Amino acid sequence: MTDQEHLWERRVITKLAQASLKEQRRARRWSIFFKFLVFAYITFVLFVFTEPDISGAKIAQKHSALIELQGIIADEETSSADNIVGALRNAFEDEQTEGVILRVNSPGGTPVQAGYIYDEIVRLREKYPETPLYAVVSDMAASGGYYVASAADEIYASESSIVGSIGVRMDSFGVVDAMEKLGIESRTLTAGENKALLDPFSPINEKAQKHLQAMIDEIHQQFIDAVKKGRGDRLKEFDDLYTGLIWTGKEALEHGLIDNIGSASYVAREVIGAEDIVEYSVEVDVLERLVDRLGASVAKVLSKEDLTPRLQ
């Protein structure tokens, strides 16, 4: 091959390499551009469709303050004690608030978080005796949801609402027999004979089970005492009242678990006498909520068991 042919090949290869490099740079620029567009679009959508957080806003006219307690009552959830308590304080501190409505739609949660909210409602009612607080049940106020509601001056619900479930649960499971059949053995190491309480991969520990049962019995009694304190003589005591059963709103009214049938708008208009409703609920950032839920889902998948007592 002559020098001219070598030179020609070198030039062709060089041009091809340069063309490829230019194409890669062009593709990279377009990729960055489209990623920027997607990011801008998502930002725009979140800005448009996410309502502003009006917690703590001072409203110029007399109104009924509304706080939503939705979903599980637990740390890092929308209805965590921090969020609900913060909203309650803002509502009570506003001089234009004629009355506070806590609208409950919850299957329950942890006794600690529900207890925090209950105690704060009691404190705020004592500090602001002229500002009543009414709990309004939408679909459900069960277990921890009812725990919180029982601290209100009065409780309202729909005839079809689910109310009650005054009880405590703690979940675990056992796979010892299945492991034996499959030839699998547990190699859990502990320091402390009771460290692996209710380990699903080991035979049940009767001592640990007895200890945990006593613990949730104590929490159950705390729940019962809170309901009795909040409802007082309005409760109609009967055998199944504290067994974890649930009732419709109509039945709950007969048992003294609620005071009347009515919605939030009814309470604002007919009971408080301030038809204008202003919401004080804490608005959680959409992206933050999404990340938190993803993290919680991953944690549940990785966790073997859940030994957290739940009012649920």
Q: Is residue 199 part of a domain?
A: no
Q: Is residue 194 part of a domain?
A: no
pLDDT at 213 exceeding the cut of 60:
yes
Q: Is residue 244 part of a domain?
A: yes
Statement to judge: residues 110 and 166 lie in one domain: yes
Statement to judge: residues 23 and 72 lie in one domain: no
Q: What are the tens digits of pLDDT across the range 142-168?
A: 999 999 999 999 999 999 999 999 999
Mean model confidence pLDDT for the chain: 81
Statement to judge: residues 85 and 144 lie in one domain: yes
pLDDT at 252 exceeding the cut of 50:
yes
Statement to judge: residues 39 and 79 lie in one domain: no
Q: Based on the structure, what is the number of domains in the chain?
A: 2
**DSSP letter for each residue of the chain:** --HHHHHHHHHHHHHHHHHHHHHHHHHHHHHHHHHHHHHHHHHHHHHHHSPP--TTPPPSS-EEEEEEEES-BSTTSTT-HHHHHHHHHHHHH-TTEEEEEEEEEE--B-HHHHHHHHHHHHHHHHH-TTS-EEEEEEEEEETHHHHHHTTSSEEEE-TT-EEE----EEE----HHHHHHHT-------SSTTSSTT-TTS---HHHHHHHHHHHHHHHHHHHHHHHHHHGGG----TTTTTT-EEEHHHHHHHTSSSEE--HHHIIIIIIS---EEE-PPPPPHHHHHHHHHHHHHHHHH-S-EEEEEB-
Mean pLDDT value across residues 16-27: 59
Statement to judge: residues 16 and 99 lie in one domain: no
Q: Is residue 114 part of a domain?
A: yes
Statement to judge: residues 160 and 94 lie in one domain: yes
pLDDT at 35 exceeding the cut of 80:
no
Statement to judge: residues 16 and 112 lie in one domain: no
Domain that holds residue 146: 63-170+230-310
Q: What is the CATH number of the domain that holds 262?
A: 3.90.226.10
Q: Is residue 92 part of a domain?
A: yes
Higher pLDDT, 312 or 161: 161
Q: What are the tens digits of pLDDT across the range 216-227?
A: 999 999 999 999
This prediction has a pTM of 0.73
Q: What are the tens digits of pLDDT across the range 49-82?
A: 444 444 444 556 999 999 999 999 999 899 999 9
Statement to judge: residues 17 and 74 lie in one domain: no
Q: Is residue 205 part of a domain?
A: no
pLDDT at 105 exceeding the cut of 70:
yes
- Tell me the pLDDT band of 141, cut-offs 50, 70 and 90: very high
Q: Is residue 203 part of a domain?
A: no
Q: What are the tens digits of pLDDT across the range 176-210?
A: 778 777 788 777 788 887 777 777 777 878 888 89
pLDDT at 299 exceeding the cut of 80:
no
- Tell me the pLDDT band of 300, cut-offs 50, 70 and 90: very low
